[in-house]
Amino acid sequence: MEFDRLKILIGDKIELFNNIKILLIGVGGVGGYVLESLVRSGFQNITIADYDTIDITNLNRQIITNQENIGKKKVVVAKERALSINPSANITIIDDFINKGFFENNNYQFDYIIDACDSVDTKAYLIRYAMDNNIKIISCMGTGNRLNPEKLKISKLSKTYNDPLAKKMRNLFKNTKYLNVPVVFSEELPIKHNNKNIGTVVVVPMTAGALCASFVINDILNKK
């Protein structure tokens, strides 16, 4: 069976993943590897949200991309890939940008939120909503302009450094409980260059995605 090698490590605890409901925001460089990790670990109920389409510049780092699906919606392609791995998975897609009011205007209920988006406003909204409503969340900080995946780690937002995105979030949440949110961040200083675009290498976002998924997997297992 497809999960036999995982069962060697966790046995029947894999059944704990069956009813867990996860919201994944972003299925690009980081989020694509989150989804890959969750589906290959037996998670059945995953909602993915992303409003973007696949661009040729995504090919160097985003696992859902290839030469044949350039121009297609990321959520559609991501769902197809997830179901090609585990056809019994329940993948719900939201082809939209998540703004304030998303939860208040919908009946979605989740056990975990994984934030793999780039928007500061969306990150702040997700963190506030999750912590105010006792929903577990892991938020990924910046992975661009870095080369060393060994510098990535899981920590509280309050403990982050060398990360401009995390600094913005710390300033936004100064002296609040939201500084305690768990995040994935890099200790590596971003590489400076003169190009207006952000430089990327696949090994950094893929590792960040694996860490986000690992947070959820181990949190479930440790609770039991």
Question: What separation in angstroms does the CA of 80 have from each of 37, 60, 176, 197?
Answer: 15, 20, 40, 29
Within 10 angstroms of residue 40's Cβ, the number of other Cβ atoms is 15
Could you tell me if residue 190 is left (phi over 0), alpha (psi between -120 and 50 degrees) or otherwise beta?
Answer: beta
| Dist CA 204 CA 145 (whole Å) | 9
E-assigned strands of 43-172?
45-49, 90-94, 112-115, 136-140, 152-156
Of 137, 93, 95, 102, which Cα lies nearest the Cα of 116?
137
Q: Give the pTM.
A: 0.97
Helix (H) or strand (E) holding 35: helix 31-39
Spell out the residues 6+ positions from residue 144 whose beta carbon is closer than 8 angstroms to its own: 190, 198, 199, 200
At 224 the pLDDT is 57
How are beta strands 152-156 and 182-186 bridged, if at all?
antiparallel
Contact present, 59 and 200 (Cβ < 8 Å): no
The pLDDT profile of the chain, 224 residues, written as one tens digit per residue, is 789 999 999 999 999 999 999 999 999 999 999 999 999 999 999 999 999 999 999 999 999 999 999 999 999 999 999 999 999 999 999 999 998 999 998 889 999 999 999 999 999 999 999 999 999 999 999 999 999 999 999 999 999 999 999 999 999 999 999 999 999 999 999 999 999 999 999 999 999 999 999 999 999 999 85
Report the candidate in 83, 70, 100, 76 with the shortest Cα–Cα distance to residue 27: 76
Q: Which of 149, 104, 95, 142 is nearest to 120 (CA)?
A: 142
Residue 55, CB-side half-sphere exposure with 13 Å CA sphere? 6
Amino acid letter for position 177: K
Question: Could you identify the residue written with the tokens 């069962």?
Answer: 7
For the chain, give every domain's residue range. 16-223
pLDDT at 1: 79
CATH number of 16-223: 3.40.50.720
| CB 111, CB 94: distance < 8 Å | no
Report the amino acid identity of residue 112: Y
